[in-house]
Amino acid sequence: QVQLVESGGGLAQPGGALRLSCAGSGFTFGYYALAWFRQAPGKEREGVACITNNYETYYGDAVKGRFTISRDNARNTVYLQMNGLKPEDTAVYYCAADRVKYSFGQATLNEATWNSIDYEYEAWGQGAQVTISP
């Protein structure tokens, strides 16, 4: 059973930094792509970042240049380093995982699809609240 547990959320000031972690269990971590999404009250889910099993990284436009996604397969953990935080970064942050699949030789999760509303991830974490406020 694929399980994901986020940690590291909390309160930070604008301009500050936080690091989220997501620990996976019940699956072969290295075969999976991992992603971070967020959802603020009254807003749609937004893709934050994704890292594939081959360490390719993709970012949402709102966080490019400020956030960094990384993974440690030995620890079954994916991280989201968030710098230059803004009040609009306030949201519940979710970790998601999906085993990499291929169709006609191309990974089904790629830069064009990772943030698509139609792409179904295999597992989601319970979420971690991030609040950015003076």
CB of 132 closer than 8 Å to CB of 63: no
Q: What is the pLDDT of residues 1-18, one digit of tens each?
A: 899 999 999 999 999 999
Among candidate residues 76, 91, 83, 74, the one with its CA nearest the CA of residue 127: 91
- The three-class DSSP label of residue 89 is helix
Q: Strands (DSSP E) along 17-117, which ranges?
A: 18-25, 32-39, 46-51, 57-59, 67-72, 77-82, 91-99, 102-103, 106-107
Q: What is the pLDDT of residues 72-125, one digit of tens each?
A: 999 999 999 999 999 999 999 999 999 989 899 889 999 999 999 889 999 999
